[in-house]
Amino acid sequence: MYRSSQSGAVSRRLIIWFSVPVVLAGLVLGVWWLSSLNHQRARAEWKTATLTRLAALSFTDETIESEVRNIKARMGVGDHVDWTGETALVMTNGEFLVYASRHGANNGFVDHLFLARGSDGRWYYSTYHFCNNMVGAMGDDPPGSIAEFTSRYAARPFDGKSDVCLERTWPQKK
């Protein structure tokens, strides 16, 4: 009798010792999953509002025209070519993108998101890490064209409406 109760106590202890880490791991994964869902929902909401705002902007809007004109005027001055603005990026061939970007986490948990309308009439998106206020691109030489920009910064064209722009473009999986 002593042996059976002793073995029962041992097996209960083993079950408890093994189940506690499993439960804790499940709780951590659950919190991570819920947090990820919340961040992705906020990113999708930002996307919807931003696409609406960018679609409403006209390339002939005085603010856009002024920013593009100012960037073009600065492009040939000095050694460093400044091709980035608050809402516009100007290529050396004169093409430009009117953009907005959202800084994600730098740990891969929440992707960055760059959305733009090009002077070529197309929409573009990227998850490239431009950093806040395009700091990641400021130090680079300006692309020669929108096509070069898309190649350099993992940008892809899309329809300007769909959730395809929430897909990851960078870093690219090998």
Question: pLDDT for 34-69, tens place per residue?
Answer: 777 888 898 999 999 999 999 998 888 899 999 999
* Mean pLDDT rounded to a whole number for the chain: 87
Cα dist. 5→8, 17, 164 in Å? 5, 18, 61
More confident of the two residues 85 and 5: 85
Give percent of the chain with pLDDT exceeding 70: 90
The answer to whether the beta carbons of residues 129 and 136 sit under 8 Å apart is yes
Q: Which of 119, 158, 20, 51 is nearest to 167 (CA)?
A: 158
Looking at residue 132, the DSSP 8-state letter turns out to be G
- Average pLDDT score over residue span 99-127: 90
The answer to whether the beta carbons of residues 116 and 99 sit under 8 Å apart is yes
- Average pLDDT score over residue span 76-100: 89
Q: Give the β-pairing of 156-158 and 123-126.
A: antiparallel
Which pLDDT band holds residue 9 (cuts at 50, 70, 90)? Answer: low
Question: How high is the pLDDT of residue 62?
Answer: 93
More confident of the two residues 44 and 78: 44
Q: Which stretch, 23-37, 103-117, 134-148, has highest mean pLDDT?
A: 134-148
Query: Under 8 Å CB-to-CB from 105, ≥6 apart: which residues?
Result: 39
Residue 118 — φ and ψ, nearest 5°? -95, 155
Which pLDDT band holds residue 1 (cuts at 50, 70, 90)? Answer: very low
More confident of the two residues 68 and 74: 68
Question: How high is the pLDDT of residue 79?
Answer: 66
- Average pLDDT score over residue span 101-124: 88
- Give the neighbor-by-neighbor strand order of the sheet with 123-126: 88-90, 96-102, 113-118, 123-126, 156-158
